[in-house]
Chains A and B, each alone.
Chain A
Amino acid sequence: MSASWRRLRALLRKEWLQILRDPSSFAIAFLLPVLLLVIIGFGVSLDPRTLRVAVVVPTPSAASDELIAALKGSPWFQVEVARARQPAEARLARGELHAVLALDGEFAGRLAAGTAHIQLLLDGVDANTARLTEGYLRGVVALWAARQGWQPAPLQIETRMWFNTAAESRDFLIPGLTAVVLTLTGALLTAMVVARAWERGTMEGLFASPARRLEIFLGAFLPYLLMGFAASALVAAAAVWVFQVPLRGSLPFLALAALLYVTIMAGWGLAVSAATRHQFLAAQIVLYSSLLPSFMLSGFLFDIASMPAWLQALTLLVPARWYVSLQQTLFLAGDVAALLLRDLAVLALMALALALLAYRGFRKRLD
């Protein structure tokens, strides 16, 4: 089973021309990665920029003035002050405010008596933003209480965020984005172009040529491997230079991870196209079996630890899960040996299995 370099080169050239010729494969190979990088990179963020908060103060006092000043001093909030509760609540109901902080009429008096409390109403429709709003507001209120010289809270919590001191969601989203982009160039593109060869019978033509099985397989496999690899380099470069995500791990590991993941994706694309021999069907199957999981079940955006147990178990089968974990660790934490070995080992196994599965599809015979 030896491969002739000349024949392989001819096959690679053929595959490359096929990608360039068809507008849809060209679009998926070159336009989609860039489009997704820009749209997801800039558009997907979990960090609030400005939270609109109304403070209801029926009777202003020195303490309430200082609360408003503390809120205005925070970069998170756009503060408006109201006397009456009704209009503020109506705006909260329509979704025009994120939160209402309400003091009652006898706030100053109750404060002295030790019975005062502050009511915080949140717009719960977006649960995540509501939770973050509560967290930030608690911080400001604690700061204000300390400045007033009141008895401090019984516990003093000192928080430290490792690997991502500023708690920027972008820093963990962008490294994981590679998984989504590579699924497209790896699996979808492969499935479409190679399934077309099956569908139109050009694969049979190849079988009838002197090209060997391994050569045909490599001819359909290597171009997508290279393009996926190039796409991952593009995303990594954009992550570091455009989105300013730190890269703390080492490049060889990053490259190895990308290589394994692209092998898995291209292998899956080839296996599906050989099994369906139908480009439309192949593309649909790949869309739902790899693109959707790479977005939803990979931990790229939604934390796997919070999913129901049956879904968590399902994510173990999703290659993107292991790849996203590697990416986030390599970019933000560095070379954590134990984690790298585990994730790379899982990916290597999956890559081997899928490469073999894909190779099986290239039997030189017609059914």
Chain B
Amino acid sequence: MWRRLAALVRKELLVFLQDPRARIVVLAPPVIQLFVFAYAATFDVRHVPLAVLDRDRTGLSRAFIARLEGAPDFRLVRASAEAELRRLIDRQRVVGAVVIREGFARELLAGRPAPVQLLLDGRGSNTAQAVATYLRRIAADFRPLETEAERPRAPPLAVRAWFNPNLESVAFVVPALVAMITMVAVMGVTGLAIARERELGTMDQLMVTPLRPLELALGKLLPGVLLGLVEGALVVAVAILWFEIPLRGPLLTLALALLVFAVAVAGVGLMISALVRTQQQAMVALFFFIAPAAILSGFATPIDNMPDWLQQVTLINPLRYMITVVRGVFLRGLGLEELAGEIWPMALIGLITLTLAALVFRRHVT
């Protein structure tokens, strides 16, 4: 059995690497995804344009503006009138505006809270909220006058972000790409495997070989899993070497989880492949699985933010567990013990998808 299986796997890999279409599906996406996602998928606020209008025009107001200027979060755009602010925000030239009201210095000197207005563009409410947080942080540390307080001062917040001290999206996005790219590769190969033979008419030839149905199914499954694992490993390497994301947990846990995950999604791919008639249909079917799986995985936005019914739906999504594992190992340094709770659901999903794939395979292929 092993000899026959090995021969089939070898044939599959060879066919695959020689077919230009298949190469496009499997080799172009990881590179494009890795670099576009890693650089574009950002919620960070870095040098965002922020307008500032100084209506106080005192040394103290200028000191506050200097403080804003020093922050890496903003790029300041000076405005000279209220109407100009409106125009800048309307046309999305700036994400918001800081207005230092008249009497800023007077109130500060009197020990009363000095008025500052922050106008934000709600068309990008997430960026706007990040700007507000950073401005509050700067304002909290702005104490230009050391006055003797007659009342106790509010205790300052000492903020520390664990695992990602500078709160960079790249640390959130790149590890998750290990799971995403593995999934696309595994499904790309297994999803097209049988459809291609059908389209080319070579399926009948395979049927008359001494291969048993189980061997045939395994032979269609393994090349995808193998290629997926290779691509996953490459992304891990790029994450560490190029994006400089530290790998804090055990690599072995990551490898084990990735194997379980690859087999689970290979089951889905094989099922699709056995059901469709052409490669074109296979691609559309793959899209119907991959797009929802990616959106409902916590890859870009947290699952916690979804309505409850949709959170329940994500429980059947293998990508959801794999993304938790890969972020856990990379950033949190967690090991097998802590992540077992994420790995067994993937194993269970894999068992179900493989069983279904076997049933579909027997019915539609052999």
Chain A residues in the interface with B (C-beta under 8 A): 23-24, 27-28, 31-32, 35-36, 39-40, 42-50, 92-95, 107, 110-112, 114, 116-132, 134-135, 137-138, 141-142, 145, 148-165, 167-169, 171-172, 192, 196, 279-281, 283-284, 287-288, 292, 296-297, 299, 301-303, 305-308, 311, 325, 328-329, 332-333, 336, 338-339, 342
Q: How far is the CA of A169 from the CA of B43 in the complex (A)?
A: 12
Stretch of B21-29, B203-211, B262-270, B350-358 on the interface side: B21-29
Q: From residue B230, how far is it (CB to closest CB) to chain A in Å?
A: 21
Question: B162 and A141: CB pair below 8 A?
Answer: no
Q: How far is the CA of A142 from the CA of B47 in the complex (A)?
A: 27
Q: From residue A71, how far is it (CB to closest CB) to chain B in Å?
A: 13
Question: A172 and B304: CB pair below 8 A?
Answer: no
Give the top 4 A-B pairs by smallest Cβ distance, nearest first: A164-B122, A124-B164, A124-B161, A145-B154
Question: B306 and A135: CB pair below 8 A?
Answer: no
B334 touches which of A94, A148, A155, A329 (Cβ 8 Å): A94
Q: How far is the CA of A148 from the CA of B133 in the complex (A)?
A: 23
Closest to A148 in B: B154
Instruction: For the A-B complex with A125-B164, A127-B164, A156-B115 known, give 16 more contacts whose Cβ atoms are closer than 8 Å.
Output: A23-B281, A24-B280, A40-B295, A95-B328, A120-B157, A121-B161, A124-B161, A125-B163, A127-B171, A127-B172, A128-B130, A151-B111, A160-B118, A299-B124, A338-B90, A338-B91
Choose among B127, B152, B292 the residue with the greatest number of A CB atoms under 10 Å from its CB.
B152
Q: Given A43-B296, A131-B133, is A162 in contact with B89 using a C-beta cutoff of 8 Å? A: yes
A142 touches which of B95, B154, B168, B288 (Cβ 8 Å): B154
Question: B42 and A120: CB pair below 8 A?
Answer: no
Question: B124 and A283: CB pair below 8 A?
Answer: no
Q: How far is the CA of A306 from the CA of B45 in the complex (A)?
A: 6
Question: A159 and B120: CB pair below 8 A?
Answer: yes
B residues in contact with A50, CB < 8 Å: 304
Q: Does B259 contact A (CB under 8 A)?
A: no
Choose among B44, B129, B137 the residue with the greatest number of A CB atoms under 10 Å from its CB.
B129
Question: B149 and A151: CB pair below 8 A?
Answer: yes
A residues in contact with B151, CB < 8 Å: 149-151
Q: From residue B11, how far is it (CB to closest CB) to chain A in Å?
A: 21
Question: A122 and B172: CB pair below 8 A?
Answer: no
Question: B48 and A155: CB pair below 8 A?
Answer: no
Question: A48 and B157: CB pair below 8 A?
Answer: no
B residues in contact with A150, CB < 8 Å: 151-154
Question: B161 and A122: CB pair below 8 A?
Answer: yes
Closest to B37 in A: A296
Scan B104-131; emit 1 where CB is below 8 A from any A CB, else 0.
0000100111111111111111111110
CB-defined A-B contacts under 8 Å, sample of 28: A24-B285, A44-B300, A111-B155, A119-B158, A124-B331, A129-B304, A130-B161, A130-B167, A131-B129, A135-B133, A154-B113, A154-B142, A155-B116, A158-B118, A161-B122, A163-B121, A167-B128, A167-B129, A168-B125, A283-B280, A297-B40, A302-B40, A306-B46, A306-B47, A307-B42, A329-B92, A329-B123, A332-B122
Question: A296 and B136: CB pair below 8 A?
Answer: no
Q: Does B18 contact A (CB under 8 A)?
A: no
Q: From residue B119, how far is it (CB to closest CB) to chain A in Å?
A: 5
A118 touches which of B90, B155, B164, B328 (Cβ 8 Å): B155
Q: Does B159 contact A (CB under 8 A)?
A: yes
Q: Does B307 contact A (CB under 8 A)?
A: yes
Closest to A50 in B: B304
Q: From residue B29, how far is it (CB to closest CB) to chain A in Å?
A: 7
Q: How far is the CA of A164 from the CA of B292 in the complex (A)?
A: 28
Q: How far is the CA of A251 from the CA of B341 in the complex (A)?
A: 50
A residues in contact with B111, CB < 8 Å: 151
A residues in contact with B164, CB < 8 Å: 124-125, 127, 130
Choose among B48, B171, B280 the residue with the greatest number of A CB atoms under 10 Å from its CB.
B280
B residues in contact with A121, CB < 8 Å: 160-162
Closest to A123 in B: B162
Q: From residue B207, how far is it (CB to closest CB) to chain A in Å?
A: 25
A307 touches which of B40, B124, B300, B301 (Cβ 8 Å): B40
Q: How far is the CA of A42 from the CA of B91 in the complex (A)?
A: 29
Closest to B164 in A: A124
> For window 262-306 of chain B, which residues contact chain A by CB distance below 8 Å?
279-281, 283-285, 287-288, 291-292, 295-296, 300-302, 304-306
Question: A127 and B154: CB pair below 8 A?
Answer: no
Q: From residue A229, how far is it (CB to closest CB) to chain B in Å?
A: 22
Q: How far is the CA of A333 from the CA of B90 in the complex (A)?
A: 8
B residues in contact with A128, CB < 8 Å: 43, 126, 130, 169, 172
B residues in contact with A159, CB < 8 Å: 117-118, 120, 132
Q: Given A112-B152, A119-B158, A306-B46, is A154 in contact with B114 using a C-beta cutoff of 8 Å? A: yes
A117 touches which of B127, B152, B155 (Cβ 8 Å): B155
Choose among B122, B128, B168, B283 the residue with the greatest number of A CB atoms under 10 Å from its CB.
B122
Q: From residue B81, how far is it (CB to closest CB) to chain A in Å?
A: 17
Q: From residue A212, how far is it (CB to closest CB) to chain B in Å?
A: 30
B residues in contact with A151, CB < 8 Å: 111, 149-154
Choose among B33, B37, B164 the residue with the greatest number of A CB atoms under 10 Å from its CB.
B164
Choose among B24, B25, B121, B155 the residue with the greatest number of A CB atoms under 10 Å from its CB.
B155
Q: How far is the CA of A284 from the CA of B158 in the complex (A)?
A: 50
Question: B127 and A125: CB pair below 8 A?
Answer: no
Question: A49 and B305: CB pair below 8 A?
Answer: yes
Q: How far is the CA of A287 from the CA of B135 in the complex (A)?
A: 40
Q: Does B156 contact A (CB under 8 A)?
A: yes
Closest to A36 in B: B291
B168 touches which of A127, A280, A333 (Cβ 8 Å): A127
Q: From residue B157, how far is it (CB to closest CB) to chain A in Å?
A: 5
Question: B167 and A131: CB pair below 8 A?
Answer: yes
B residues in contact with A130, CB < 8 Å: 161, 164, 167
B residues in contact with A311, CB < 8 Å: 39-40
Question: A124 and B162: CB pair below 8 A?
Answer: yes
Choose among A142, A160, A196 the residue with the greatest number of B CB atoms under 10 Å from its CB.
A160
Q: How far is the CA of A159 from the CA of B324 in the complex (A)?
A: 35
Question: A296 and B41: CB pair below 8 A?
Answer: yes
Q: How far is the CA of A50 from the CA of B303 in the complex (A)?
A: 12
Q: Given A114-B152, A306-B46, A328-B123, is A288 in contact with B116 using a C-beta cutoff of 8 Å? A: no
Q: From residue B34, how far is it (CB to closest CB) to chain A in Å?
A: 12
> For window 43-93 of chain B, which residues contact chain A by CB distance below 8 Å?
43-49, 64, 87, 89-92
Closest to A115 in B: B155
Q: How far is the CA of A296 from the CA of B150 in the complex (A)?
A: 53
